Structure 1
Amino acid sequence: MLGLTTLTPMAAQPEEAEPEKPVEKRAVANPEELAPPSPVSLSESLPSVTDPQRAQELLHLDLRTAMGLVLEDTPSLKKITSRIRQAEYRVQEAFTAAYPTLDFSAQYSRVQPPISLPGGPIISPADNYQFTLTLRQAIFDFGRMKWNVLASKLSKRVIQEEYRAELNRLVMLVAQRYIEALLAQEQVSIAQDDLEAQLANLRTSQLLFKQGVAARFDVLRNSAAASQAQQILIEAETAESIAKARLLSLLNEPLDRRLQLDALPIRPPNAEMHLSDSKLKALEARPDLRSIRWAVEQAKAQIEVAETGNNPRLDLTNTTVNRNATGFSPETQNTTAVVLSIPLYDGGLTHWQKEQAVESVHQLTHDLEQAERDAVLQIDEVFHQLSDRWRAIAVAEDNVTQAEEALRVAVLRYENGISTNVELLESQAARARARFELARARGNYLLSRWSWWQATAGEYPTEVPMPEEIRERLDAEGLPDGDDAFSGEETNQKLGPLLPDREAPVLPIRGLPTRESVDGDLSPADNPEPK
């Protein structure tokens, strides 16, 4: 029986212990000293965004011009354009299977000892060289090149539809930000008018208080209402600056550049449109659905590509060899051969690749089915949203009319001493809210108009940059109108006046004095007027 013995080292005697050697600390190198970081260059478009001189210039835009400027110089479109070129290079790569190939190789070898017959000549000398030139030409590859080329072309078609989808997304994004900027601009104008009215009330109440006609409570309440109107104006101006900065960011302009936007006309919806026809046209024309359809076809082509893995090949080869003459081998030798290659067993590689391609087809088919359902639902929702928001505009207009009449009555009651200024302030606030809601209703309706255009993939509202191949195909296939949900009737309604370049006029309220008719001897605490 074997036993395990643990060996313990013996402690060194004091006189036998070696003196400790000082440990030298190794200096740790600074990575920045070994490889100093190179400065990362800024993008080429950044100087135009940060140019202070450019920010002072006034930029006058309408919606179509803004769309054209954005689509002309957008990184996302340039990226997809590069992907289209890359896909074209894959197509050319697939065609190279039919082209001949030419290879050259050089070899030097040394053999020790040299090989020779007993008492005879040397068969293989010590130093040997060999140059080989090989030409290969595919005669027939039994479908390999055909299906690879088809799969590459279908992949390129998928990217082309993605380009159109990106175009539609950018058009919708520009319209959305343009309308948001117009709406914010309209709200600033309304807030300015409301502030002017509140300041007029404040000045009147202060004048009446000095004359002993009004109570101090009226002055305090009007001062609070003016302060609240001033706060609303500040918030509206901030929202306007943010909305315009979002639009200027798309245009690659300085975010604080002065911007003047044209108003947008409002057209009523078309009551005679057949929704089912629009759904069918949209299902055929929408680029996101077309992209998935072509992806399904590309996946089917990949099944055929996988199946060709076990197909035979027929090639023609020509080999020319030049070497030093040895033994029975001549100095120059040329060999031409026809080679038939037949794969017998690859361990199941081709089978499982095919099964993966089949499952990819199933997945993309389900994606297409779900996308078509979502598209039909989106078109239906946007269509009903158009009708609802058009009716909302009519309701908002009625509310503005009623608020104007209520304000007129409140002014008359206040002038004749029938009511206090509380009723007048409430009427003015209701009028401002009604005007805000009317502007918001018009903006929402215009947003729905562009949502309808995106849902139905209609004709482009402006000239768009597009590869020639895509443009020719769209000219041949045609696109839906995109405006079939709207009638040709012109209305006087618009969203967004031009950017105001002067102070908003005082509201024409009868019986109230204007700013110029009141002596401004008020204390700073009682004067909420902004600087």
Structure 2
Amino acid sequence: MKRLFNIFIIVFSCSSLYAQQQTVGDLSVFINQSFNYFPQFKELGQAIDVEQQRITLAKATGLPSFQATGTYNYINPVSEISIPAGAQSLSFQIMPKNNYKTSVNGSYTLWDFGVVKAGVDRAKAGLMLAKDNLDYNKNQMAAQVSNIYFQIAYLKAAIQIQNSVIDFLERNKKDTEVKYKNGDALKYDVLSIQSSIDQENNRKIDLLTSLDKQYILMEYTTGMKMDKAPLGFTFPVQGLEDGAEQSLEHAWNYNPEFKLIKDRITQAEAELAVSKTGGKPSLTLNAGTGYINGYAPDIDRFRYNYTAGVTLNIPIYQGGRAKKQERLSESQLKQTRFAQETLNNTFKSNIKQVLTDINSNRSSLVNAGGQVAEAKEAQKLAQSRYKNGIGTNLELTSASTNVQKAELTKLQYEYQLCLAQVEMARLTGIKYW
């Protein structure tokens, strides 16, 4: 764990220096360009902004609210009082037929049993999930771009090997043609070498076609044309072969996928806290001021008034929705925790497999290097024997094929080792861009 942590710190501290030395062919250039170019990252960035607005909205729920109102009502008939006055009686209205009212009212929740706080916590959990989701997609995109990058490096190296094979066969064809003219070789030998050249050219065409497809895929991912050759199979981070337990611990702390599952647990816990506030009472302060008519003795006169009070709201029966919602939230939280255990087991298995691939390819590279040297030496001997009239065309062609196979095998191990390192960096969450 300490070693992996030191690697992480070194990569982080050296990132600024490395950025100054970047060229168009650098892997990190293409990875960072993909973050700026690929539309999905703009969408993920907007999702972060949306979650920040949700937090602001959740906090606004606990703020005071004010509203201005104006009303008019015509009422007929209205209540009247009759007072005897000698032979006649006097009638008085106790309320006007035309009723006017203007007011400014405000309310503020004094006590809500943590409803607002639970809503804010849920919104904050959503923001953290959105941020880590962006990091997760960056980690995935970095691995995808790296795979394309090293696939291009592999194909270009394979084409170089193919060119060397074709050049070797072309030279030997010329020697064989000279021998044929001198009567020391058969027409069959010349045709056999030409057939081998045609086969190797067809392989080269296949490699060039695959290379063009990878260039197209790189441009689709990054929006950049790859004008310069990749810088080989040197992965920016070395020393990723620590034990499975140390690598898993590093993944637990730094891999965005683990951060996402932790965020989902936090979000489920926040959702449970919100569901527990359902059906709780609330105490609200209400106040208002304005003008209204209807006051005796002049009931048509507009007069100033104000009101103040508190409202206690106690839900009695809601069909059991609050308890049902709480049980649902508890089940969702338990489901997310099980998903965390599944992810942990999956990563443990994947890390062990990648470590096996890294160690296996390193060991195979040592053997492949020896095989290349031996095959080239055998090729020189076969060529010398053929020029001196001792060897045959079949021996020479076989020696050339063995060199090609040995070099391609070594190249394949280098490529596989690099891809395994890319996968280990993805699993452990190490940033190399």
Pairwise TM-score range, normalised by the shorter structure: 0.7 to 0.9
Change (3 A) 1:75 1:367: same
Contact 1:110 1:126 in 2 (8 A): yes
Q: Does 1:278 align with 2:213?
A: no
Q: Which residue of 441, 456, 460 corresponds with 2:413?
A: 441
SS in structure 1 at match of 2:261: helix
Q: Give the secondary-structure state (helix, strand or coil) at the position aligned to 1:333.
A: strand
Decide which of 173, 176, 183 is 1:212's aligned counterpart: 183
Please tell me whether the aligned partners of residues 116 and 123 of structure 1 are also in contact (alpha carbons under 8 angstroms): yes
User: TM-score under structure 2 normalisation?
Assistant: 0.85
Tell me, in whole angstroms, the C-alpha distance in 1 between the residues paired with 2:60 and 2:326.
23
**Which residue of structure 1 aligns with residue 291 of structure 2?**
322
Separation (CA, whole Å) in 1 of partners of 2:138 and 2:92: 79
The code of the aligned residue for 1:234 comes to I
Q: 1:326-383 CA distances to partner (integer Å, 9 max, x unpaired)?
A: 7786644311111111111111010111111011011101100000111111221111
TM-score after normalising by structure 1: 0.70
Does 2:204 match 1:240? no
**2:64 aligns to what?**
100
CA distance in 2 between partners of 1:269 and 1:307 (Å): 49
1:145 is aligned to 2:116: yes
2:247 counterpart letter in structure 1: S
CA distance 1:268–1:396, change in 2 (3 Å): farther
Q: Report the CA distance between 1:266 and its aligned residue.
A: 6.8
In 2, Cα distance between equivalents of 1:269 and 1:133: 69
- For the residue of structure 1 that corresponds to 2:391, the secondary structure is coil
Q: Deviations over 1:44-75 (max 9, x none)?
A: xxxxxxxxxxxxxxx83112333333334443
Deviation at 1:271, TM superposition (A): 10
Range that drifts further, 198-207 or 366-375: 198-207
Counterpart position of 1:490: none
Q: Give the percent of matched residue pairs that are identical in Structure 1 and Structure 2.
A: 20
Per-residue CA deviations over 1:397-439 (Å, capped at 9, x if unaligned) read 2221222122122212322333321221122122112211211
Question: How far 1:274 moved relative to its partner?
Answer: 4.3
Counterparts of 1:369-448 in structure 2 under 5 Å? 369-448=341-420
Structural mapping, 1:103-142, within 5 Å: 103-111=67-75, 120-122=91-93, 127-142=98-113
Match of 2:31 in 1: 67
Compute the displacement of 1:321 (Å).
4.5
Residues 448-505 of structure 1 deviation map (CA, whole Å, 9 limit, x = unaligned): 11211111122x223xxxxxxxxxxxxxxxxxxxxxxxxxxxxxxxxxxxxxxxxxxx
Specify the alignment match of 2:139 in structure 1.
168
Which residue type is aligned with residue 173 of structure 2? L
Q: Which moved more, 1:420-429 or 1:203-212?
A: 203-212
In structure 1, give the amino acid aligned to 2:43: K
Work out the CA distance in 1 between the residues paired with 2:346 and 2:415.
Answer: 25
Indicate yes or no: 2:275 matched with 1:334: no
Distance between the aligned counterparts of 1:77 and 1:305, measured in 2? 31
Aligned-partner Cα distance in 2 for 1:446–1:85: 37
How many pairs align? 401
Report Cα offsets for 1:240-272 as digits up to 9, x if no partner: 112222223222125xx6333223437998699
Q: Distance in 1 between matches of 2:341 and 2:326?
A: 23
Select the residue among 32, 38, 42 that pairs with 1:78. 42
Q: Using the alignment, how far apart are the partners of 2:246 and 2:189 within structure 1?
A: 62
Instruction: Judge which range, 332-341 or 262-271, deviates more.
Output: 262-271
1:355 aligned partner, one-letter code: R
- Relative to structure 1, is the Cα distance of residues 226 and 353 closer, same or farther in structure 2, using a 3 angstrom cutoff? same
CA–CA separation in structure 1 for the residues paired with 2:203 and 2:347: 40
Distance 2:237 2:255 in 1: 24
Within 2, Cα distance between the matches of 1:299 and 1:371?
A: 17
d(CA) in 2 for partners of 1:125, 1:278? 83
Distance 1:210 1:253 in 2: 53
Report the Cα offset of residue 199 of structure 1: 2.0
Aligned position for 2:15: none
5+ residue gaps, structure 2, are 1-22, 83-89
Distance 2:304 2:241 in 1: 86
1:356 partnered with 2:328: yes
Deviations 1:157-187 (A, max 9, x none): 2222222222221222222111111111111
Please tell me whether the aligned partners of residues 283 and 375 of structure 1 are also in contact (alpha carbons under 8 angstroms).
Answer: no
Which amino acid in 1 is paired with 2:286?
Answer: T
Q: What is the Cα deviation at residue 289 of structure 1?
A: 1.2
- Distance across 2 between alignment mates of 1:404 and 1:232: 21
Residue by residue, what CA displacement relative to the aligned partner does 1:87-123 show, whole Å, maximum 9, x if unpaired? 1221222211221001223333444567655663455
Q: Distance in 1 between matches of 2:172 and 2:291?
A: 107
Write the distance in 2 (CA, Å) between the matches of 1:110 and 1:362. 60
The answer to whether the Cα contact below 8 Å between 2:240 and 2:425 also exists between their aligned partners in 1 is no
For 1:76, give the aligned amino acid: Q
CA RMSD of aligned residues (A): 2.6
- Who is 2:223 aligned against? 252
- Aligned-partner Cα distance in 2 for 1:268–1:216: 55
| Stretch deviating more after TM superposition (157-166 or 205-214) | 205-214
Runs of 4+ in 1 over 6 A off after TM superposition: 266-269, 326-330
Higher helix share: 2
Bigger mean CA offset, 122-131 vs 415-424: 122-131
Q: Secondary structure at the match of 1:259?
A: coil
Q: Structure 1 residues 253 and 232, CA, compared in 2 at 3 Å: closer, same or farther?
A: same
Are the aligned partners of 2:233 and 2:414 in contact in 1 as well (CA < 8 Å)?
no
Q: Which amino acid aligns with 1:363?
A: Q
Q: Report deviation, 1:230.
A: 1.1
Q: Which residue does the alignment assign to 1:293?
A: 262
The answer to whether the 8 Å contact 2:96/2:294 transfers is: no
What letter matches 1:315 in structure 2?
T
Distance 1:190 1:212 in 2: 32
**Deviation sequence 1:128-159 (CA, Å, 0-9, x none):** 44333220011111111121112221222222
Evaluate the alpha carbon distance shift between residue 417 and residue 98 of structure 1 in structure 2; reply closer, same or farther with a 3 A threshold. Answer: same
List alignment gaps of at least 5 residues for structure 1.
1-58, 463-531
Q: Deviations over 1:183-233 (max 9, x none)?
A: 111111111111222222333333332333321111211121111111111
Give the aligned residue type for 2:213: I
The amino acid of 2:39's aligned partner reads P
* Partner SS for 2:91: coil
CA contact (8 A) 2:62 2:109 kept: yes
> 1:324 & 1:265 partners in 2: Cα distance?
87
Q: Is the 8 A contact 1:198 1:229 kept in 2?
A: no
